[in-house]
Amino acid sequence: MPSVGLGIAGLGTVAQGVLQIIGRNHRIILERTGIDLRVARVASRSAKPDVDLLGAQFGADLDMLYRDPAVDIVLELIGGEDTARDLIRSALMAGKPVVTANKAVIANSGNQLLGSNAEVPLRFEAAVAGAIPIVQAVQQGLVANQFEHIVGIINGTCNYILTAMAQQGTAFDDALRTAQELGYAEADPTFDVGGIDAAHKLTILLALAFDAQFNLPGVYVEGISHVTPADIRYAGELGYCIKHVGIARRSADGVEARVHPALLPAEQLLANVNDVANAVLVKADAAGHTLFSGPGAGGEATASAVLADVLAIAAGSGARQAQPRRALEYLPIEEIVTAYYLRIPTRDEPGVFARVANALSTHGISIEAAIQKEPRAQQDVVDIVILTGDSREREVDAALAEVRALPQVAGEIARIRVESLE
Amino acid sequence: MPSVGLGIAGLGTVAQGVLQIIGRNHRIILERTGIDLRVARVASRSAKPDVDLLGAQFGADLDMLYRDPAVDIVLELIGGEDTARDLIRSALMAGKPVVTANKAVIANSGNQLLGSNAEVPLRFEAAVAGAIPIVQAVQQGLVANQFEHIVGIINGTCNYILTAMAQQGTAFDDALRTAQELGYAEADPTFDVGGIDAAHKLTILLALAFDAQFNLPGVYVEGISHVTPADIRYAGELGYCIKHVGIARRSADGVEARVHPALLPAEQLLANVNDVANAVLVKADAAGHTLFSGPGAGGEATASAVLADVLAIAAGSGARQAQPRRALEYLPIEEIVTAYYLRIPTRDEPGVFARVANALSTHGISIEAAIQKEPRAQQDVVDIVILTGDSREREVDAALAEVRALPQVAGEIARIRVESLE
């Protein structure tokens, strides 16, 4: 019945979640696993908040975490990048296994960190989609499969905002302000609504699914600030929901890695994952479509994943550690082939639709569905909404350049990719 | 780079799925895990079908599987009960790890089998919900949690039939016939539509989540043959879908274990899992609500889970083996507290609703919502549909006995439990 000493870096919500779970569930974990979790040391440079440290030593010196012989596993829960990465590296070099919830560090420095001391475990279940055991699902549950695609709603802030826009018809700015008031978005929301956070998580999923190196710079990234309530409404009329997704896909041309808003078929489970929830849809050659959903953030929810890693290490789990090997270049975004939603604001003149359709047709782009409403009184601009057939993005760009040059086009053209999820 | 010899019992769809996956993905599995899967021997008492055995020895003698030194892991994929159980026991006693997809054997004999030679792994990911790695999620991904409830759509036949009834308005018998024609239901469908198959799977989930012994006889079981298109329609009007679910719940009074049709809130993800898909919703104290969905059956989908177990054993995974310990009695069904959907066919006479409401009220049962439509011409029986507040089943039974005795009641009363999923 081994006693396992934990050294926790940080005392934010996830670290506090770890302490709360151990405080509450220590005995049940011991009964289940035979592992006696002890918090040996907590290190934080901020003042100690009023939380029960379960008898742990407390100090500001992070290095003590891996120097203290009472610490068997280091939990990196400080967030940020440089300090966290240095701590992880030092701990691994000192032979201490590390568990981290830090997606930025793994996405940016995972190749070096996982290579630095391959004998010593470094695990990061909590870095992707919080409580959802998706790293474990990809690495173990689906280990016998070839992955065809992974489509994830992996940023709770974006999902909250798009859900609010869809359900209440509010504009992006208003929904963002509400999200900030509720604590679902940061004061500076760029990281989330700009798609960077989702790109970190997608980078990790990609590396695991395709047995490749982490390659954050190769991921195409687009945020949600350009999505309008009108787009969400038109998408609904066409039978789709708009979600912000990270997509990894193996196509005939290569591996796609992209983060952007997308129209998803409304009847699909993934399209019905709302508010701050996260979900990951995996298509694999043997298992078919599996979906994993749950809370993507939150102290105890994230801590649940951290402790799953801790207990796997403590059990001496032989489950393979992510060992990024081959470098993998992703397909340039211009080369992807998918369907597109287009919204083209035009002045209501005869023949406009024909000219738009002609420009698309010239580039081999078919029209699968379209909406053009009668203009209302006093309204001289009408939206032409088109759902294209599968088309190469380069051709869509070229066609839209022609459309944009039409004298009847009266505003910014919206272009959102469509995912069939099949 | 260890070579691992597999001995496969059976040559049905799951066994063929295992062979197909290894044939196709051998190299990628080797690269990922370092494990070189070899099919050493296949044993089946039926004639050898025309499938590639990947160079394995073939014979009818199941005992050769664990006697052959070339076999490192035995895969029990014959189905049925007695022969399968005997094979598993013999293999474990011979020191050979076993992987099985056999829910009946684990639910009925898991206590003895897992106790028989605790040093030798016996794994059964494929026994619950096919391709979905739900055993792993409960045992590893959520290992630090206390489980509050598990609600699973764990029988694809029932889900197919209820989905068809909901979407096409067909009666149970017609939907069953279609399911049989499509191969989604057996010629004798009792096992599936009667709820026994779901009870096997729930028994396994319960034992894992509550660290308890398998206790199949303790599970309350109800099938779907009494669900009518009218119930599905009324449920829809009230904002619910009817699904066949297995429920494990820790309540103030004890642990509930029950399999039956239930009304689920239509906006919940679980209620939108349709056709033959399976899904399991888990509520745990730290992780909150997580949901896992995917194919619950099918050759390669189930084989994907079988191979996950094989590779975990081959990797020498220290992940704890299910070790049922304490006996756990479940709460008698009369003692559960939940909301109820009631449909009471009555002759259209004044004061009927009041008398029904009065009978409920006498037993402390509140009415949360009700539907009573004007009778159509020529129709002398009208349905009174009621959604109750949370009530103890014993009280509901007593109240319904009184209602049934009312002279205006003109047919069988439908009573379906309601799950809030909260």
Architecture field, domain A3-127: 3-Layer(aba) Sandwich (3.40)
The tokens describing B50, both together, are 């025309």
Which chain A residues have a beta carbon less than 8 Å from that of B273? 269
Hey, is the C-beta of B99 within 8 angstroms of any chain A C-beta?
no
Handedness of CA B32, B33, B34, B39 (dihedral sign): negative
Distance CA B108, CA A310 (A): 33
The tokens describing A201, both together, are 């998580």
Hey, is the C-beta of A293 within 8 angstroms of any chain B C-beta?
yes
- Candidates 3.40.50.11900, 3.20.20.80, 3.40.250.10, 3.30.70.260; CATH matching A336-418: 3.30.70.260
Q: Compute CA B151 distance to the chain's CA centroid, rounded to the nearest angstrom.
A: 9
Hey, is the C-beta of B305 within 8 angstroms of any chain A C-beta?
yes
In angstroms, the separation between the Cα of residue A124 and the nearest Cα of chain B is 12
Question: Residues B192, B158: contact at Cβ < 8 Å?
Answer: yes
User: Hey, is A172 helix, strand or coil?
Assistant: helix
User: What pLDDT does residue B404 have?
Assistant: 97
User: Hey, is B346 helix, strand or coil?
Assistant: strand
Q: What are the residues whose beta carbons fall under 8 Å from the beta carbon of B174, sequence distance 6 or more?
A: none
Substitution target from B31, B304, B306 for chain A, most A beta carbons within 10 A: B304
Domain ranges of chain B: 3-127, 134-295, 337-418
- Residue B237: other Cβ atoms inside 10 A: 11
Cα dihedral value B125, B127, B131, B132, nearest 10: -70
Using CB atoms, pick whichever of A131, A143, A287 lies closest to residue B311.
A143
Q: Compute CA A94 distance to the chain's CA centroid, rounded to the nearest angstrom.
A: 31
Per-residue DSSP letter, B335: G
Taking only the tens place, the pLDDT of each residue in A278-299 is 999 999 999 999 999 999 999 9
User: What pLDDT does residue B161 have?
Assistant: 97
Output the CA–CA distances (angstroms, integers) from residue B143 to A15, A99, B279, B290, in the order listed: 18, 16, 19, 13
Which chain A residues have a beta carbon less than 8 Å from that of B207? none
Question: With a cut of 0.85, is the ipTM above it?
Answer: yes
DSSP B359-373: HHHHTT--EEEEEEP
User: Hey, is A308 helix, strand or coil?
Assistant: helix
What is the band of B323 on the pLDDT scale with cuts at 50, 70, 90? low
The tokens describing B4, both together, are 């691992």
Question: Residues B386, B344: contact at Cβ < 8 Å?
Answer: yes
Percent of chain A with pLDDT over 70: 98
User: What pLDDT does residue A119 have?
Assistant: 85
The tokens describing A318, both together, are 């032989």
CB spacing of A142 vs B304 below 8 angstroms: yes
Question: What pTM value is reported for the model?
Answer: 0.96
State which amino acid sits at residue A236. G
Distance CA A368, CA A385 (A): 11
Longest distance between any two alpha carbons in chain A, whole Å? 80
H helices, E strands: number in chain A: 13, 17
Output the CA–CA distances (angstroms, integers) from residue B356 to A57, A167, B418, in the order listed: 65, 38, 19
The tokens describing B163, both together, are 């989905």
How open is the CA angle B291-B293-B299, to the nearest 5 degrees?
A: 155
Q: What are the residues whose beta carbons fall under 8 Å from the beta carbon of B130, sequence distance 6 or more?
A: B278, B294, B295, B296, B297, B298, B301, B302, B305
Nearest to B384 by CA among B393, B394, B398, B371: B371
Using CB atoms, pick whichever of B21, B140, B311 lies closest to residue A308.
B140
Residue A284 — left, alpha, or beta (φ > 0 → left; ψ -120 to 50 → alpha)?
beta
Hey, is the C-beta of A365 within 8 angstroms of any chain B C-beta?
no
CB spacing of A286 vs B269 below 8 angstroms: no
Indicate if the pLDDT at residue B320 is higher than 60: no
User: What pLDDT does residue A319 have?
Assistant: 52
Mean pLDDT throughout B75-79?
95
In angstroms, the separation between the Cα of residue B5 and the nearest Cα of chain A is 16
Cα dihedral value A142, A143, A147, A149, nearest 10: 40
User: What pLDDT does residue A322 have?
Assistant: 56
Q: What are the residues whose beta carbons fall under 8 Å from the beta carbon of A351, sequence distance 6 or more?
A: none
Taking only the tens place, the pLDDT of each residue in A224-275 is 999 999 999 999 999 999 999 999 999 999 999 999 999 999 999 999 999 9
User: Hey, is B51 helix, strand or coil?
Assistant: coil
Nearest CA in chain B to A133: B141
Mean pLDDT lowest for which of A313-317, B167-171, B330-334? A313-317
Question: Active-site residues of B: which are they?
Answer: 201
By DSSP bridging, strand B220-221 and strand B254-265 are parallel
Give me the half-sphere count of Cα atoms (radius 13 Å) on the Cβ side of residue A302. 25
Distance CA B134, CA B410 (A): 45
Taking only the tens place, the pLDDT of each residue in B174-220 is 999 999 999 999 999 999 999 999 999 999 999 999 999 999 999 99
DSSP A48-78: PPS---TT-EEES-TTHHHH-TT-SEEEE--
CB spacing of B142 vs A304 below 8 angstroms: yes
Taking only the tens place, the pLDDT of each residue in B220-238 is 999 999 999 999 999 999 9
Q: Could you tell me which CATH class the domain B337-418 is placed in?
A: alpha beta
Distance CA B402, CA A104 (A): 64
User: What pLDDT does residue A13 have?
Assistant: 94
Mean pLDDT lowest for which of A117-126, A375-384, B255-264? A375-384
User: Which residues share a beta bridge with B35?
Assistant: none
Instruction: Output Rg (C-alpha) for chain B, integer angstroms.
Output: 24
Taking only the tens place, the pLDDT of each residue in B268-302 is 999 999 999 999 999 999 999 999 999 999 999 99
CATH topology classification for A134-295: Dihydrodipicolinate Reductase; domain 2 (3.30.360)
Indicate if the pLDDT at residue B256 is higher than 60: yes
Hey, is the C-beta of A265 within 8 angstroms of any chain B C-beta?
no
The tokens describing B104, both together, are 């009946």
